[in-house]
Amino acid sequence: MQDHTQHTDHAQHAEHAEHAEHAEHTGHVGWRMAAQATLHCLTGCAIGEVLGMVVGTAFGWGNTATMVLAIALAFFFGYTLTLRSVRKAGVDFRTAFRVALAADTLSIAVMELIDNGLIALWPGAMDATLADALFWGTLALSLAVAFVVTTPVNKWMIGRGKGHAVVHQYHH
């Protein structure tokens, strides 16, 4: 006669693993997952910010027009990165677009508010050009501060099954 205790233990282990994964999605979220989600948003924001500043400067636009372009591009690239990863999982475009909007809107908005707010308030930063160390230093600092402020926002959202928790579902 076969001993089935090992099979039962395996089933309990699988059930425990499923519970652990479920716990990760329903409130017992670690800072690591939140930081990864924030880094994802930061990547899109940084691409958009730099590109917007370069384009605005190249065309000789004023601060307001350049900042508006940089913010719009930050949202565009943030959404695009999420859209791309969700589409890779085989999700149709419409659903992937909705997921990207739900996952990234608050995160990008907080990041852009902090990032651009710091740049606007930093003495001389708005008048710095691409050739100035002040431009790049302020941009790097503002993105770092935005990362620190936005990570708890993403942790809160993921812990409630929102934000990048939704994106995470498509990576399995």
Q: Which pLDDT score, from 0 to 100, does residue 167 have?
A: 60
Tens-place pLDDT, residues 41-52: 899 999 999 999
55 or 157, greater pLDDT: 55
How many Cβ atoms are within 10 Å of 16's Cβ, its own excluded? 10
Tens-place pLDDT, residues 71-82: 999 999 999 998
How many Cβ atoms are within 10 Å of 74's Cβ, its own excluded? 27
Tens-place pLDDT, residues 93-125: 998 899 889 889 999 999 999 999 999 999 999
Crossing angle (nearest 10°) for helices 93-121 and 31-58: 70
Tracing tokens 């677009």 back to the chain, one arrives at 97
Q: Which pLDDT score, from 0 to 100, does residue 151 have?
A: 94
pTM of model > 0.85:
no
Does 127 have pLDDT greater than 80? yes
Q: Which pLDDT score, from 0 to 100, does residue 171 have?
A: 54
Nearest Cα neighbor of 116 from 57, 59, 58, 45 is 45
CA 130 vs CA 6, 22, 85: distances in Å: 65, 46, 31
Residue 49: partners with Cβ closer than 8 Å, 6 or more residues away: 70, 73, 74, 115, 139, 143
Tracing tokens 């928790």 back to the chain, one arrives at 165
Q: Which pLDDT score, from 0 to 100, does residue 163 have?
A: 65
- Which band of pLDDT confidence, cut at 50, 70 and 90, is reported for residue 144? very high
- Which band of pLDDT confidence, cut at 50, 70 and 90, is reported for residue 143? very high
Instruction: Report how far residue 169's alpha carbon sits from residue 89's, in angstroms, rounded to the nearest whole number.
Output: 10
